[in-house]
A = this chain, B = another copy of it.
Amino acid sequence: MVFEFVPKKLTKDSFKPFGQVIERNEAERILINEGTTERFHDLANVDVKSNNGCPIISIFRGQPRPQPIKIKMMERHPLGSQAFMPLQNQSYYVVVAEEAAEVNPMDLHVFLANGNQGVNYNRNIWHHPLLVSQENNEFLVIDRGGVEDNCEEHWFTEQQGFAELNIK
């Protein structure tokens, strides 16, 4: 069984069940540094403290997958949030599911993020690994460092089927 999804525009409201959209909000900026800098303050809930975890900063460089993009698995991080901020102004895809013990392809939510939007996945939210639209697409990633296993994968069974992105 194939479940087809047309990516929806990513907005703060639509992404609320899964985490935060990291983006400028012109209405909420603070002027600092003698007026030379606007600060868009505290845009994500970085939640990495559990089990003595600490925040780490990494760079991810992604390559596009063959089209049509098939979603055959999802992953989640039970111990911490994970934020992705694009370092080039290029759109990418975000695939998530609401928090539940089991994830099914029919329950996915698929968003198209623009190159000015980052996302922060809340702890334990099922999401697909990075899905970029361009070659060598880079992101700054802020997630949890620690020795504990913090990645759970679920590969869809044959009975569950899989999802496919319908990208026009």
Contacts and interface: CB of A to CB of B under 8 A. Distances in A.
A102 to B, nearest CB: 22
A106 interface: no
A85 B84 CA distance: 13
Given A140-B85, A140-B140, A145-B42, A33 B58 contact: no
A39 interface: yes
B87 A57 contact: no
B145 A142 contact: no
Interface string A52-68: 00111111111111000
Interface of A: 22-24, 29, 32-34, 36-44, 46, 48-49, 54-65, 83, 85-89, 118, 120, 129-130, 138, 140-142, 145
Given A24-B61, A61-B24, A85-B87, A56 B42 contact: yes
Contacts of A29: 61
Copies of this chain present in the complex amount to 2
B120 A36 contact: no
A37 to B, nearest CB: 5
Nearest to A52: B49
Contacts of A118: 57, 140
A42 B153 CA distance: 22
Contact of A57 (B56, B120, B138): B120
A129 B57 contact: no
Nearest to A116: B87
Nearest to A33: B129
B63 A36 contact: yes
A16 B60 CA distance: 23
Contacts of A141: 39
